[in-house]
Amino acid sequence: FKTIIEPFRMKFVEVMKMTTREQRLKLLEEANYNLFKIPAEYCLIDLLTDSGTGSMSADQWAGLMQGDESYACARSWFKFKSAVEEVTGFCNIIPTHQGRAAERILFTTLGVKDKLVLSNTLFDTTRANAEFLGAECVDMPCKENEDPSTPAPFKGNIDLQALERRLEEDASKVACLVMTVTNNSGGGQPVAMANLKAAAALCRQHKVQFYLDACRFAENSYFVRDREPGYEGKSVKSIARELFSLADGATFSAKKDGLANTGGFLISNNEDLVQKATQLLIMTEGFPTYGGLTGRDLETIAVGLREVVKEDYLEYRIASTAFLGAGLAARGIPIVEPPGGHAVYIDATAFLPDVPRSAFPGHAVAVAFFVEGGVRSCEIGELMFGGEDPITGDERRPAGGLELCRMAIPRRVYTQSHMEYLLEVAERVVATKDTLKGFKVTKETPYLRHFSADLAPL
Ligand code: F0G
């Protein structure tokens, strides 16, 4: 069949509010042009994030009812632990309330102060956590990542030569390498197994710890199966196991490829680190068998982890992202090619060449989609990563220099007709293109300014 259908049906639905263009303009003004501040009920298609926004399956809802809320060693903990072991192969598991808590615990226990954290590209919260603890973060995306319009199978790769150079300069200064799979800030692009293997070998040679930011490990594994020679026909589950086997550990947000609405974990084979991390967990998150999560949450993640590696689900997932990407491109909206796993990234610099980087072209595109059709998306560029470095006072630059507008697709939420509506909205955005102006920031915070900044149109 040409049509890859949603491999699920609806058991209950969430009713949304329809709005007019005038209402949306007013909502924007009231939110000081920050899309994070718009009440979600007015976002007809909410593509702000794929994080924690997915629909749970009937089995996950059933799991909710089975949650064991005992403080220590609850039945739900053992189910969670066994699912994490099955999918990752790791048995030291530290549950956390979401991914960034795992990151904070990892970076605190690794001791990143005055050290380097190397990466293909760190996501915003990961970078902020490391910087807040005094680390210097260095993103080293591969060369193909710099050219948004040219497709390549694994644009999430790290630049291995740059990594080798850094490690040879002074490996003792490096706290760890974090490989983000898929590479969210770099366009949602996958990392090849070969690239991960080479990076792992370099880390071993230089005795540097190698961690995965594994939020979207299943999508990355599916791309490996689809695109990397030697992996055709292998199960996604076995590819995922191989991926995890290369690392000393990983941080994970169950809000993405855990198919859950909250949760996360840290896994590691470094016993000393695990011991320290567990102490910190008890102090800040909760007892080691729940780590800030309810028994119910642990149940939903256990089920979600087993569902997310299913090929039927991933085939539909990646196909629907590709459908949106191809549709936008066909309507004259340049995107990062090829579309990523969880999101399509509009190349805002190419779409709005007259809006300078300092006027946030990615944000201008995101605002236009909201005005025209109530579609909420998210800037990834100067607004998210730029501004003054809180430590050095220097002007920061987004990794790879790309100004993007990200349309992240929640898992199992929207149908083909939602995507078709979105493409009609895109046609209206294209029609207004020449009138689109940039923005200026009128109020901001030193870290993660995009979440709370006030903006005004120029
Ligand atoms: N790492 C990556 C690559 C992420 O994309 C995220 C979250 C995190 C870590 C943190 O996980 O939210 O559970 O604390 N990304 C979301 C996004 C917020 O919209 O891309 P968390």
- Predicted confidence pLDDT, tens digits, the chain (458 residues): 888 899 999 999 999 899 999 999 999 999 999 999 999 999 999 999 999 999 999 999 999 999 999 999 999 999 999 999 999 999 999 999 999 999 999 999 999 999 999 999 998 889 989 999 999 999 999 999 888 999 999 999 999 999 999 999 999 999 999 999 999 877 899 999 999 999 999 999 999 999 999 999 999 999 999 999 999 999 999 999 999 999 999 999 999 999 999 999 999 999 999 999 999 999 999 999 999 999 999 999 999 999 999 999 999 999 999 999 999 999 999 999 999 999 999 999 999 999 999 999 999 999 999 999 999 999 999 898 887 777 777 777 765 678 999 999 999 999 999 999 999 999 999 999 999 999 999 998 877 788 889 999 99
Q: Which fold has domain 58-308?
A: Aspartate Aminotransferase; domain 2 (3.40.640)
Instruction: Determine the distance separating the centroid of ligand 1 and the alpha carbon of 330, expressed in angstroms.
Output: 30
Side-chain half-sphere exposure of 443, counting CA atoms within 13 A:
8
Are the CB atoms for 293 and 68 separated by under 8 Å? Answer: no
Place of tokens 């199966």: 225
pLDDT at 394: 76
Q: Where are the alpha helices (DSSP H) in 206-337?
A: 217-227, 236-245, 271-284, 295-308, 311-330
Task: At 288, give phi and psi (nearest 5°).
Answer: -60, -15
CATH class of 21-50+311-457: alpha beta
Q: Whose CA is nearest to atom 18 of ligand 1?
A: 51
- 127 CB near ligand 1 (under 6 Å): no
**In the prediction, which pLDDT does 399 show?**
57
pLDDT of res. 395: 77
Pick the residue whose CA is nearest to atom 8 on ligand 1: 99
Structure tokens that stand for 112 in this block: 């990143």
Ligand 1 and 100: CB distance under 6 A: yes
Every domain range in the chain assigned CATH 3.90.1150.10: 21-50+311-457
Ligand 1 centroid vs 294 CA: distance in angstroms?
A: 20
ipTM confidence: 0.99
CA of 237 to the centre of ligand 1 (A): 22
Structure confidence at residue 172 (pLDDT): 96
Looking at the chain, which residues constitute the CATH 3.40.640.10 domain(s)?
58-308
Residues 6+ positions from 100 with CB-CB distance below 8 Å: 125, 126, 129, 253, 264
Q: How far is the CA of 401 from the centre of ligand 1 (A)?
A: 20
